[in-house]
Amino acid sequence: MDYYNQAARLNGFRDASEMKVQNYESDTFKEEMASTWEGLKPLYQQLHAYVRSKLNNFYGSRFVSNDGPIPAHLLGNMWAQSWNNLADILQPYPDKPSLNVTGEMVRQGWTQKIMFEKAEDFFLSLGLDPMVPEFWSGSIIEKPKDDRELVCHASAWDFYNGKDFRIKQCTVVNQEDFVTVNHEMGHVQYFMQYKNQSVLFRNGANHGFHEGVADILSLSVGTASYFKQLGLLSEDVDVEDDETDINILFGMALERIAFLPFGYMVDKFRWDVFSGETSKENMNCHWWKLRHEIQGLTPPNKRSYRDFDAGAKYHVAGDVGYVRYFTAFIYEFQFYKALCEEAGEYIPGDPAKPLHRCNIYGSKAAGDKMRDMLKLGASRPWKEAMRVMTGQPEMDTGAIREYFRPLENWLIQRNKENNVQVGWGDLDLDSVCQQA
């Protein structure tokens, strides 16, 4: 930390927290992120309250209170950054369908190659570019059968020669990995669109743009209409049934809305360490203070200043910025809304064309709008690139709130009917973490 701050000051920054966010081209970026989180917090609090109530019913008040933070280890993920592994406990309407087509993919004999070909087909339907020959010859799309060591975390690679773009992914034939395939190919499409820029500009408009662009198609790919189009979902499934609709949105929220406070908190923690908001000695307790305040979580047992729980997250140990994923989730829905309007698949105020059911497959108009932004790379400030895609320059939570509005209204009503308290109270830090 001391060396990082020293390097930052030598480069004209007040501390490393300022240096780490320079790519976002704003002197008030940290304050903007705090404000953005406050704009999302009401939706998250309703989801948190509903999930806590269900876990209280499942485990009992001895383990999960009715009005406090949720024990982090009960949420089905090591970092409690996504809660979709608890879907079987939490699903609002267990007797109604939710989107899970893994079994049908396996039954129909889907392979890793088919998954990548279907992802390419989506981009082609928008009038975007096919994958280059080097992609198919050089990519690793399934785990090698020999004994070589390989980091299986999915990633996309630009070899900066204008023609060699690859993906490395130990793909498993399931729905989750199919969405990931589309995400990684979104990165590759971005690479290919800005390949003619100067090497200095062959990147996203900011760190969050690349992730946001990569996730645009995963929203369309995750819709029931697209799975029906692929023959993976029975035509008998009525996705316009209100209860089925809530199941689908709820499953999305367990992954995306549950992630948002974590996506913000990881870098908020690091900014506080670099800026001196917390001491080095007590930074682990500060980690749990933020997890309580922002996520509404508590540790499985009392922690200590001698621990370093944040270091269990690769991005912290590997010094990889994390707020990019928070911003990406906001950008993604902004981009998606703009493309859906361009495709005529979302009409504000029209119950027949809500945002969460939009599928832009086959829309050349949406593809043209997407290309216009992607080809800019990092050659223009990110707010100018945002304007090209959305017609306005600011990061805005309106699109993600609009996408989840039917679920948010349902959660508010259900929590009120069941007298579920929203929020998790104040923190007694000494009871959670031994400070130095």
Cβ(34)–Cβ(323) under 8 Å? no
Is 153 annotated as catalytic?
Answer: no
Q: Which of 18, 48, 183, 184 is catalytic?
A: 184
Distances (CA, A) of 82 to 74, 221, 245, 248, 411: 11, 19, 20, 16, 18
Cβ(212)–Cβ(190) under 8 Å? no
Cβ(250)–Cβ(92) under 8 Å? yes
Distances (CA, A) of 373 to 253, 345, 368, 390, 423: 28, 20, 9, 10, 39
Q: Which of 73, 134, 243, 315 is catalytic?
A: 315
Cα separation, 4 vs 339, in Å, equals: 41
Dihedral angle, C-alpha 205, 206, 208, 213, nearest 10 ° = 10
E strand map for 30-174: 70-71, 155-158, 165-168
Burial-class residue 200 by CB neighbours within 10 Å (0-12, 13-18, 19+).
Answer: exposed
| Cross-strand pairs, 140 | 168
**Of all helices (H) and strands (E), which one includes residue 434?**
strand 433-434
Is 315 annotated as catalytic?
Answer: yes
Cβ(280)–Cβ(306) under 8 Å? no
Cα separation, 433 vs 436, in Å, equals: 10
Could you list the active site residues?
Answer: 184, 315
